[in-house]
């Protein structure tokens, strides 16, 4: 039992140290490029799409086939040059596709709005919709391809050439993963139609209802929508990613399995371009069951998620309020109380302090990993809603919102640092709604000083936790650490108590055994004496 308890104690001690080992590697300076299955890939911040994040790229400038990811360019040009409410006639050429093509489901002579056709092109990757759009905007697919090459050159895609509007295989239709990252960043953030583009590629489902038939559409991006189970595939692998915002899949035998994915967290947009995935070491085989293929189908989605997780964890920086204040973040703000007493020592000037503890910690998303703490500049936006005397010291007079890179981090109450008496001349005081609404609303935040809590504008983007609460500075995927440590601690205490009880019981047993031996020796001596 002693040996067993010792082994359990050692094992639990090792388990207790595992979380700390993970903390040391959670923000590793390098990413294992060999962990990505696809042979051509790049990860970029959408603000700097020509440069990979921390050098995470492989064969980024090698010529590759884009397959249906081509439709990103087709879509953004149509948005910029077309009218979403225009009705588009579907020609015979637009529906001239055989088996094996991804289609929206159009028929010759149909009329659908340009809006519906764009959803039909981007969600189920309809080749028929791509042809109809191109003919409507430019008169022909060849003329539309000229527009595509012009736009590509305009936005800095220096190693690409486009021949088709849908991406079906053509030796003269090529690009690079870096160029596609540049294109996607333009479509998401820089185009005058970026908001419309985001809405389309981020839709999980859509129903085209402007034509003769209602056509239900489902996004092929498995980071947004799970593949439904079926008799052939009863348990499809889920690839959902909570921060995913699009963008486009692509599949041809020559291009392989392609994915351009985008995610957004705390105002930072990342783009992952992964091209050239296959069905493993074997060539495509119609004899494979869907479940066999599915584990290869999901690799591109899982790889994109791994890239996003690494970058976002790498960008996350935990900074104390005291450090930010040292770097210039204001916590005190001035307001003039117009009806203050005439003899007020400061002429009605009141300082209000943000109800933040200097020991509390903010989780800040820093897009540039080389950014130093001293370079993190937090902006403040104070709003006063109580500017009439009398005002008591500690009274809530407004609120302040702190932002970083234009993204709200936290809102705190503003508390009066002194009392202000009312002047003898009566001033009409506006009634204060105990639960103000609209522009005068004060978010009711709990004091970090009083009860160790503060509300954030978006709990998914930033948290504020005082150091005394534990877990400060732990990445979002490490929130379980305090619980694990608490459980390990309790188990260690229990084992130590059991061990002590065991030692006491063992000592008691030994004493009892010694007494028995002593009695036995005494009996033996008496017997010997009697015999003598």
Residues marked as catalytic: 68, 71, 125
- How far apart CA 114 and CA 84 sit, in angstroms, is 5
**Beta carbons within 10 angstroms of residue 59's beta carbon:** 17
Q: What is the DSSP letter of 280?
A: T
Distance CA 301, CA 237 (A): 11
Task: Write the DSSP assignment of 455-498 as a string of letters.
Answer: --S-TTT--EEEGGGS-TT--GGGTTHHHHHHHHHHHHHHHHHH
**Nearest alpha carbon to residue 445 among 402, 399, 379, 384:** 399
Q: What is the DSSP string of 408-426?
A: EEEEEEEEESS-BPBPSS-
Annotate 268-291 with b (16+ C-beta within 10 A) or e (fewer). bbbbbbbbbbbbeeeeeeeeeeee
CA dihedral 440, 445, 450, 451 (to 10 degrees): 160
Structure tokens at 54: 């921390």
Dihedral, 246, 252, 257, 261 alpha carbons, nearest 10: -20
The span from the CA of 257 to the CA of 221, in Å, is 12
Note whether 95 and 101 are within 8 A (CB). no
Cis amide prior to 390 (ω within 30 degrees) = yes
Distance of CA 363 to the CA centre of its chain: 14
- DSSP single-letter state for residue 352: E
What gap in Å lies between CA 70 and CA 173, rounded to an integer? 9
The set of residues, in sequence order, having a beta carbon less than 8 Å from that of 317 and lying 6+ positions away, is 363, 364, 365, 366, 371, 373, 376
Angle, vertex CA 41, rays to CA 38 and CA 45, nearest 5: 145
How many Cβ atoms are within 10 Å of 154's Cβ, its own excluded?
9
Q: Where are the alpha helices (DSSP H) in 261-364?
A: 290-297, 299-315, 321-326
CA 450 to each of CA 331, 446, 453: distance values in angstroms, whole numbers, following the listed order:
17, 8, 8
Residues 244 and 226: beta-carbon distance below 8 Å: no
């Amino acid at each position: 039992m002693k040996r067993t308890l010792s082994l359990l104690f050692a094992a639990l001690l090792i388990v207790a140290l595992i979380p700390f080992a993970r903390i040391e590697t959670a923000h590793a300076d390098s990413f294992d490029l060999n962990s990505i299955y696809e042979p051509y890939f790049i990860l970029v911040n959408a603000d700097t799409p020509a440069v990979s994040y921390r050098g995470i790229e492989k064969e980024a400038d090698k010529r590759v086939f884009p397959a249906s990811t081509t439709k990103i360019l087709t879509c953004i040009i149509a948005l910029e040059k077309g009218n979403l409410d225009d009705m588009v006639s579907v020609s015979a050429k637009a529906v001239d596709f055989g088996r094996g093509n991804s289609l929206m489901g159009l028929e010759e002579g149909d009329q659908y709005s340009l809006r519906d056709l764009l959803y039909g092109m981007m969600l189920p990757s309809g080749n028929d919709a791509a042809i109809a759009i191109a003919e409507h905007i430019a008169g022909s697919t060849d003329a539309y391809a000229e527009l595509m090459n012009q736009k590509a050159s305009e936005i800095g895609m220096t190693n690409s050439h486009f021949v088709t509007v849908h991406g079906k295989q053509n030796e003269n239709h090529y690009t690079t993963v870096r160029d596609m990252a540049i294109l996607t960043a333009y479509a998401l953030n820089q185009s005058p139609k970026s908001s419309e583009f985001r809405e389309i590629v981020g839709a999980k489902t859509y129903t085209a209802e402007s034509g003769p038939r209602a056509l239900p559409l489902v996004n092929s991006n498995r980071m947004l929508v799970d593949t439904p189970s079926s008799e052939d595939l009863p348990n499809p692998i889920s690839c959902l990613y909570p921060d995913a915002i699009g963008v486009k899949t692509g599949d041809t035998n020559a291009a392989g399995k392609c994915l351009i994915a985008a995610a957004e967290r705390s105002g930072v947009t990342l783009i992952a371009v992964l091209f050239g995935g296959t069905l493993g070491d074997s060539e495509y085989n119609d004899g494979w069951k869907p479940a066999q293929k599915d584990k290869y189908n999901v690799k591109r989605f899982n790889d994109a998620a791994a890239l996003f997780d690494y970058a976002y964890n790498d960008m996350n920086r935990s900074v104390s309020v005291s450090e930010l204040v040292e770097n210039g973040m204001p916590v005190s703000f001035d307001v003039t109380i117009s009806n203050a007493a005439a003899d007020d020592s400061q002429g009605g000037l009141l300082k209000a302090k943000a109800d933040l503890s200097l020991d509390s910690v903010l989780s800040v998303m820093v897009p540039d990993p080389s950014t130093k703490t001293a370079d993190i500049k937090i902006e403040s936006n104070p709003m006063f809603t109580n500017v009439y005397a009398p005002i008591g010291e500690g009274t809530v007079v407004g609120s302040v919102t702190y932002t970083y890179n234009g993204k709200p981090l936290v809102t705190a109450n503003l508390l009066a640092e002194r009392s202000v008496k009312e002047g003898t001349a009566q001033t009409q005081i506006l009634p204060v709604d105990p639960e103000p609404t609209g522009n005068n609303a004060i978010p009711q935040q709990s004091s970090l000083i009083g009860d160790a809590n503060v509300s954030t504008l978006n709990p998914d983007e930033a948290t504020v936790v005082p150091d005394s609460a534990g877990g400060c500075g732990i990445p979002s995927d490490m929130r379980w650490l305090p619980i694990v440590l608490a459980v390990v601690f309790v188990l260690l205490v229990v084992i130590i108590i059991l061990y002590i009880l065991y030692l006491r019981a063992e000592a008691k047993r030994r004493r009892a055994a010694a007494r028995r031996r002593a009695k036995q020796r005494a009996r033996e001596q008496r017997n010997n004496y009697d015999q003598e």
